[in-house]
Chain A
């Protein structure tokens, strides 16, 4: 009871401190991104400027309607105030609210990342643990893992498309479902290739990281003591050493997952997966500032949030971290 109470206090104080810290961090990030987007040559109206059919007075009217004639600092404050209130503006491309456009894409991205992460964990956990424990396994898995980290994601995507979609015809090459289809089998078939591409890179990085933390854990005195007491090797590995290695591994996994909300850009584009990553590439072509800004902010918030969740988890998993934070 007392321990639980102490834990609760530690978690609440950590969350409070981190949320307070996150405010200036996000402010700084938004200022940086806003500056970059709006100081870049061209501006949101550049597509109209290049179009000879749009009259100069129309451009002037648009400029005023969008508030682009005001000073940059006024524009930033206006944007910030409405962004905080949940009003993310309207897409320049189709006039719909940015929030709607982003939200409708989120499920597809979460589905892709979720499945890829589960696949990657299923490979990385055993690979990482055994590579740390057995030299023979390590000789095989280490080169594979280093190779996996070095793969250009889009190239793997193209090759898998070529092999399984064009040549063998086993799987659909792109999209989330067929035009007429939409049943579970059809959607799973569409998920296989993009999820595999992400899982290959993730499992390589994760198994590599787990191997290192497990090695550190196995060289700790506590493990030597446990071994001296005659504990079976499997229990030593999966229970004692893994408990030590798990907190930092969880942190890395969650951080990578957060990176993927925006990092799936490449995979989603190659496979025309209708998530927020491909929304980003579409918006980039159309110079859709409001959507681009929203995308970058979501990516940053996702990293901050999952970072915090990881820290809270570590606090629960690792007693020594709990003591330090109190």
Chain B
């Protein structure tokens, strides 16, 4: 699933690339694949065991043995960043899938059904867009103390509105095409028309929406974990590594620098890829 998506993105990136002679998106797609590969292969790549304590070498600065230094329990930060990548990237990818699926369903229904269905769904979308997203998530996460899986669903559920809007607009245009009218004239059910004839046309829009949603999901998770209400220790995510690092920021800056760089690079890769294939990265704080 992941592999296909990344290849698809890389392919689309390449067509625009020839016109622009710009290697940025190619690099971004490769970087994204490398990040995913590193996360998958974490147990093989990591120089130490996932949560191995080394109390003799606590809080040591980056060195030859500990590339990213060690934390207050002597755990290797490089190892933790690698294992954190699994959590953070998985949350980004799964939450993006959730939000794009909800958004596509609502957007396609609204765009194709029109009339009062459209009105109702779009007003609901407007309402959801008015509610401050991060605070809402923080409340849900703080009160329900969700498992990582439920947290992913939360992050996905608050992010479907942008997708719903672009899908609706795209479906509205596509629904007026002759081949859709032809399908309807042949007696195809609305469900069949949407799934077989309209949605395939929306696919490029969905790919862009998914890429951007992955970046947004990673940022939201890191913010939640940064406030201590996201992924809970001892499970490492880039966000909660930063949460633990902020108190010792001035004495052990490496604890905060490396997880942050990883968040930045992975979100940047998503936005750069999504940007080239026609999307506009949106950030909402």
Whether A166 contacts B127 in the complex (CB less than 8 A), given A152-B260, A155-B242, A201-B283, comes out as no
Q: Which residue of B has the minimal Cβ distance to A24?
A: B123
Q: Which residue of A has the minimal Cβ distance to B126?
A: A25
Q: Are A158 and B272 closer than 8 Å at their CB atoms?
A: no
The contact string, 1 if C-beta is below 8 Å from chain A, for chain B 170-187, is 000000000000000000
CB neighbours (8 Å) of B19 from chain A are none
**Which residue of B143, B242, B284 is within 8 Å of A158 (Cβ)?**
B242
**Which residue of A42, A167, A259, A299 is within 8 Å of B284 (Cβ)?**
A259
CB neighbours (8 Å) of A266 from chain B are 134, 223, 226, 285
Whether A155 contacts B126 in the complex (CB less than 8 A), given A262-B135, A281-B227, A296-B131, comes out as no
Q: Which residue of A has the minimal Cβ distance to B261?
A: A155
Interface residues of A in 239-291 (CB under 8 A from B): 259-267, 269, 280-281, 284, 287
Q: Are B283 and A149 closer than 8 Å at their CB atoms?
A: yes
The interface stretch among A28-36, A60-68, A74-82, A314-322 is A28-36
CB neighbours (8 Å) of A284 from chain B are 138-139, 142, 229
Q: Are B136 and A296 closer than 8 Å at their CB atoms?
A: yes
Within the assembled complex, what's the spacing in Å between the Cα atoms of A26 and B246?
Answer: 37
**Which residue of B142, B222, B275 is within 8 Å of A146 (Cβ)?**
B275
Q: Are B256 and A155 closer than 8 Å at their CB atoms?
A: yes
Q: Which residue of B has the minimal Cβ distance to A211?
A: B280
B65 at the interface (CB under 8 A from A): no
Whether A28 contacts B127 in the complex (CB less than 8 A), given A150-B268, A153-B285, A201-B285, comes out as yes
Whether A212 contacts B280 in the complex (CB less than 8 A), given A40-B144, A41-B144, comes out as yes
Q: Are A149 and B281 closer than 8 Å at their CB atoms?
A: yes
Pair count A-B, CB < 8 A = 149
Interface of A is mostly: helix
Within the assembled complex, what's the spacing in Å between the Cα atoms of A21 and B267?
Answer: 36
Within the assembled complex, what's the spacing in Å between the Cα atoms of A272 and B275?
Answer: 34
Q: Are A158 and B131 closer than 8 Å at their CB atoms?
A: no
CB neighbours (8 Å) of B219 from chain A are 152
Question: How many chain-B residues does the 8 Å CB contact rule pick out?
Answer: 48
CB neighbours (8 Å) of A29 from chain B are 127, 130-131
Give min CB distance, A149 to chain B, whole Å. 5
B201 at the interface (CB under 8 A from A): no
Give min CB distance, B147 to chain A, whole Å. 14
**Which residue of A151, A159, A265 is within 8 Å of B257 (Cβ)?**
A159
Interface residues of A in 120-164 (CB under 8 A from B): 143, 146-147, 149-155, 158-159, 161-162
Within the assembled complex, what's the spacing in Å between the Cα atoms of A284 and B224?
Answer: 13
B43 at the interface (CB under 8 A from A): no
Give min CB distance, B172 to chain A, whole Å. 18
CB neighbours (8 Å) of A28 from chain B are 123-124, 127
Chain A, interface size: which category? 35 or more
The contact string, 1 if C-beta is below 8 Å from chain B, for chain A 286-316, is 0100001001100110011001000000000
CB neighbours (8 Å) of B124 from chain A are 28
Interface residues of A in 19-55 (CB under 8 A from B): 21, 24-25, 28-29, 32-33, 36-37, 40-42
A92 at the interface (CB under 8 A from B): no
Q: Which residue of A has the minimal Cβ distance to B136?
A: A296
CB neighbours (8 Å) of B139 from chain A are 36-37, 40, 284, 292, 296
Give min CB distance, B233 to chain A, whole Å. 17
Q: Which residue of B has the minimal Cβ distance to A43?
A: B143
Within the assembled complex, what's the spacing in Å between the Cα atoms of A263 and B229?
Answer: 17
The contact string, 1 if C-beta is below 8 Å from chain B, for chain A 206-247, is 001100100000000000000000000000000000000000
Q: Are A265 and B242 closer than 8 Å at their CB atoms?
A: no
Within the assembled complex, what's the spacing in Å between the Cα atoms of A209 and B131?
Answer: 22
Other A-B contacts than A33-B131, A155-B264, 17 sampled, CB-CB below 8 A, are A25-B127, A28-B123, A40-B143, A41-B143, A147-B268, A149-B282, A150-B281, A152-B264, A159-B257, A205-B283, A263-B134, A265-B135, A295-B135, A296-B136, A299-B131, A300-B130, A303-B132
Can you show 15 pairs from A to B with CB atoms below 8 A apart? A29-B130, A29-B131, A36-B139, A40-B143, A41-B144, A149-B281, A150-B215, A152-B226, A152-B267, A154-B222, A259-B285, A260-B285, A263-B284, A284-B229, A300-B131
Chain B residues within CB distance 8 Å of chain A: 24, 123-124, 126-127, 129-132, 134-136, 138-140, 142-144, 215, 219, 222-223, 226-227, 229, 242, 245-246, 249-250, 253, 256-257, 260, 263-264, 267-268, 270-272, 275, 280-285
Chain A residues within CB distance 8 Å of chain B: 21, 24-25, 28-29, 32-33, 36-37, 40-42, 143, 146-147, 149-155, 158-159, 161-162, 166-167, 201, 204-205, 208-209, 212, 259-267, 269, 280-281, 284, 287, 292, 295-296, 299-300, 303-304, 307
User: What 4 A-B pairs come out closest when comparing CB atoms?
Assistant: A262-B132, A40-B143, A155-B260, A263-B285
